[in-house]
Structure 1
Amino acid sequence: MNNTYFTEEHNLFRKSLSDFLQKEVVPHIDKWEKTGTIERFIWEKFGEMGFFGINYPEKYGGLDLDIFYTVIFLEELQKINSGGFAAAMWAHAYLAMTHLNKEGSHEIKEKYLAPSITGEKIGCLCITEPFGGSDVAGMKSTAVKNGDHYILNGSKTFITNGVYSDYLVIAAKTSPEEGNKGMSIFVIDRDTPGIASTKLDKLGWRASDTGEISFTDVKIPVENLMGEEGKGFPYIMQHFALERLIMGINAHARAESAIEYTLQYMSDRTAFGRSIDKFQALRHRIADIASEAEMCKQFNYLTAQRLGNGEYVVKEATMSKLLSTKMADNAINECLQFLGGYGYMEDYPLARMLRDSRLGPIGGGTSEILREILAKMIIDKKEYKPAT
């Protein structure tokens, strides 16, 4: 283990989390992959173990630990070969809950963040729209203030935990005429009248519930506004750095998992009188993908350290997601090939891993959008600044 970033306490935490996942989660994964529903009990067990409170304040039941505990949480989730289960967990803990913690009032934190840490409540983050995609500024959903409520209308799509969550953290335009400067963030209870969800059928991430959600004259109490009205866009942009880095870390972790499995398979599989890990053509390809995975991992660790130190690493996090997800797709595709026909069989892990990995260059900002963001920063010298 890399002692530059991980202490003995980190390593003990990793062992504890790994043991927990093998005992409590792995036996149910195949069932959840088939049903598309993660049973409620596991959320509460995660809460009991403190895994949802890793980086949150002790005041609300969290552990207030450093960012490398989060890195471990993400890496270990990738090792159980269910991108959907992993996504449901980290989308709750690091998308929905991040906004609660950063922008929510004390009352909102007591009502939503504290039970999210215990696993009693599940959250989702609603930003992407059917006709918006990565164009957050082009959002159409509106929340018009009317007395002591906002009236929300619009729709969201591709929302992880979008069907079975208990509350929704949602972005909508409170002043549409002001463009991205007129956007705000709210938290809404799932059972609020006017909310309807439809479950989407996906290529991968089969265990997670990904939903399309419509909002028809939904009444949001004014106290459910998070942060300042009109500051929603910079809040979202500020947290995108964390989301992109999460997806970069996920990518290097699943690539490593695929490589580890494939190396074991190659040492056991024989052809022409010797194990296939003795053939130079395969050895050199493994050397390439392992090198690329290691380089992404080390860059991601350094970026995580800087983020944990309070630096605004939007450029580096964007690079992390862009390159790490591309690397993981290539590595897993190569690993599947090394298994030959068995790689294509559902009884072996690479088929699911390939499907799940393919979401990496799409979700949380497509690779095409990320390249344009980076081009603006590198060529046009555009600067992105944190919300004030």
Structure 2
Amino acid sequence: MIPRTNFDSEHEIFRASVRQFFQAEVAPRVMRWREQGVVDRDIFTRAGEQGYLLMWAPEEYGGVGIDDMRYEQILQEENYLHGDPGLCLTLHSRVVAPYIGKRGSEAQKQRWLPPAIRGEKILAVAMSEPSAGSDLAGMKTRAEDRGDHWVLSGSKTYISNGLLADLVIVAARTSGPSKHSMGLFVVEAAMEGFRRGRKLHKLGLDAQDTAEMFFDEVKVPKENALGDPTEGFRYLAEALAVERLQIAIGSIAHAQVAFDLTLEYVKERKAFGRPVGTFQDPRFRLARMRAELDALQCYIDHCVMLSNAGRLTAEVASGAKMLATELEGRVIDDCLQLHGGAGYMEEYRICRMFRDARVTRIFGGANEIMAEIIGRGLGLDERKLMKPQPV
């Protein structure tokens, strides 16, 4: 394994603390969470007590004021190693909360950031819709301006933290100067007309509470709109690079755990009187995995540093997400194969990991969309290349 150079001594001290937290507070509960289909709510407050939520938030709101993605990266890596990918602390902290931190008024930040930092208010974001998936241009949920409030109507699906969330940032179309005019509205759990639908049963991520949401003329106060209510499309687009980097961080961590489990397994498991790992095919497969994991980990670590410097582009983040999730799928598939029949048994962790990994090539933008973003960044945009030429 190639040595990683982007962490210093403070990060390693932090990692030791985080590892202890996940081993003590999360690992013993994972199987029960997977059976019940949702994590225990108190894990958010326990993480908040340790200062692990919204670490970027300034001290005046109760945060620790450390806007360094490497700390979030460590949290993810230790969660994949000792916890479960269904525990969405990163979604809460690094995907949803920044909409409030960057777009919220001072009053909104004072109201919502402190309880989110303490884990008392769990956050979710609602973009995907039943008929449009993650196609924001096809969104049908609307918010109508009624003078002193907004009226929100529509439905959303595939919402992570959907059952536990106290605050949901909902993307909705608004009347504005552009066909893409939309706003971001903070819907609170007790608002009249807001209803959660089914807990969706998924192929994997058994511990993650993924749900439908319905908004039946929900009266949303004007003070619950984030930023300009016609600029939501831009706000979402600007945040997607960090979200896709988070997916890449998780995917490479997941693949690394699968590799480590399998390396130990093939050393111990015997066939024809010798360890499975001594046969050429397993050795060659694992050798290639090791090289690919090292190469992509270097890429993702560099992306983390670019994010810290404010230089992470949509194209680079899309590349990280695409490559990491595809490698995750290949590595875990190979690792399951090397477990033989045991790999198909639910009692073996690699079986559960195989199911959990499949969605990462879909959520956060399907990998085909990632390729489109990268291709357009290369200047391969049909709208530009097919423009009529002057006579």
Question: How high is the TM-score relative to the length of structure 1?
Answer: 0.95
Q: Distance in 1 between matches of 2:23 and 2:120?
A: 22
CA contact (8 A) 1:81 1:352 kept: no
Q: Residues 106-255 of structure 1 correspond to what in structure 2 (within 5 A)?
A: 106-175=106-175, 178-180=178-180, 182-198=181-197, 199-255=199-255
Match of 2:79 among 60, 77, 80: 77
Q: Distance in 2 between matches of 1:29 and 1:176?
A: 46
Q: Distance in 1 between matches of 2:213 and 2:134?
A: 17
User: Aligned-pair distance for 1:126?
Assistant: 0.6
Between 273-282 and 121-130, report the one with greater CA deviation: 273-282
Superposed CA deviations along residues 76-99 of structure 1, whole A, max 9, x for unmatched, are: 1111352212xx222111222111
SS in 1 for 2:30: helix
Superposed CA deviations along residues 88-116 of structure 1, whole A, max 9, x for unmatched, are: 22211122211111111111112211110
Q: Residues 308-323 of structure 1 correspond to what in structure 2 (within 5 A)?
A: 308-323=308-323
CA contact (8 A) 1:53 1:61 kept: no
Q: Distance in 2 between matches of 1:276 and 1:262?
A: 11
Superposed CA deviations along residues 214-237 of structure 1, whole A, max 9, x for unmatched, are: 101101111111111211011100
Structure 1, unaligned runs of 5 or more: 383-388
SS in 2 for 1:192: coil
Q: Distance in 2 between matches of 1:268 and 1:67?
A: 37
Paired-residue identity, %:
37
Q: 1:58 to 1:69 in 2, by over 3 A?
A: same
CA contact (8 A) 1:269 1:276 kept: yes
Q: 1:268 to 1:312 in 2, by over 3 A?
A: closer
User: Aligned-pair distance for 1:362?
Assistant: 0.5
Between 215-224 and 65-74, report the one with greater CA deviation: 65-74
Alignment partner of 1:49 is 2:47: no
Tell me how large the CA RMSD over aligned residues is.
1.5
Q: Partner letter of residue 74 of structure 1?
A: Q
SS in 2 for 1:113: helix
Superposed CA deviations along residues 168-205 of structure 1, whole A, max 9, x for unmatched, are: 1111111177321x111111211101111121111111
- Aligned twin of 2:370: 370
CA contact (8 A) 1:303 1:313 kept: no
Q: Distance in 2 between matches of 1:293 and 1:285?
A: 12
Between 76-85 and 244-253, report the one with greater CA deviation: 76-85
Superposed CA deviations along residues 119-156 of structure 1, whole A, max 9, x for unmatched, are: 11101001111111121122111111102100000111
CA contact (8 A) 1:124 1:168 kept: yes
Between 119-128 and 71-80, report the one with greater CA deviation: 71-80
CA contact (8 A) 2:314 2:373 kept: no
CA contact (8 A) 2:55 2:63 kept: yes
- Aligned twin of 2:29: 28
- Aligned twin of 1:350: 350
Structure 2, unaligned runs of 5 or more: 383-391
Q: Partner letter of residue 137 of structure 2?
A: A
Between 355-364 and 128-137, report the one with greater CA deviation: 128-137
Q: Partner letter of residue 166 of structure 1?
A: D
CA contact (8 A) 1:293 1:328 kept: no
Between 230-239 and 105-114, report the one with greater CA deviation: 105-114
Q: Distance in 2 between matches of 1:12 and 1:3?
A: 15
User: Aligned-pair distance for 1:342?
Assistant: 0.8
Q: Partner letter of residue 328 of structure 2?
A: A
CA contact (8 A) 2:152 2:220 kept: yes
Q: Distance in 1 between matches of 2:179 and 2:131?
A: 16
Aligned residues: 379
CA contact (8 A) 2:80 2:257 kept: yes
CA contact (8 A) 1:78 1:257 kept: yes
SS in 1 for 2:361: coil
Q: Distance in 1 between matches of 2:59 and 2:352?
A: 37
- Aligned twin of 2:40: 39
CA contact (8 A) 1:162 1:210 kept: yes
User: Aligned-pair distance for 1:308?
Assistant: 0.6
Q: Distance in 2 between matches of 1:42 and 1:334?
A: 33
CA contact (8 A) 2:80 2:250 kept: yes
Q: Distance in 2 between matches of 1:81 and 1:62?
A: 24
- Aligned twin of 1:386: none
Q: Distance in 1 between matches of 2:3 and 2:46?
A: 29
Between 129-138 and 157-166, report the one with greater CA deviation: 129-138
CA contact (8 A) 2:72 2:90 kept: no
User: Aligned-pair distance for 1:2?
Assistant: 4.6
- Aligned twin of 1:290: 290
User: Aligned-pair distance for 1:163?
Assistant: 1.7
SS in 2 for 1:230: coil
User: Aligned-pair distance for 1:258?
Assistant: 0.3
User: Aligned-pair distance for 1:4?
Assistant: 2.6
SS in 1 for 2:86: helix
SS in 1 for 2:372: helix
Superposed CA deviations along residues 345-366 of structure 1, whole A, max 9, x for unmatched, are: 1111011100100011011100
Q: Distance in 1 between matches of 2:259 and 2:63?
A: 34
Q: 1:194 to 1:328 in 2, by over 3 A?
A: same
Q: Distance in 1 between matches of 2:369 and 2:175?
A: 25
Question: How high is the TM-score relative to the length of structure 2?
Answer: 0.94
Structure 1 runs (4+) greater than 6 angstroms displaced: none
Alignment partner of 1:17 is 2:18: yes
- Aligned twin of 1:385: none
Q: Distance in 2 between matches of 1:229 and 1:337?
A: 50
Q: Distance in 2 between matches of 1:319 and 1:53?
A: 26
CA contact (8 A) 1:124 1:162 kept: yes
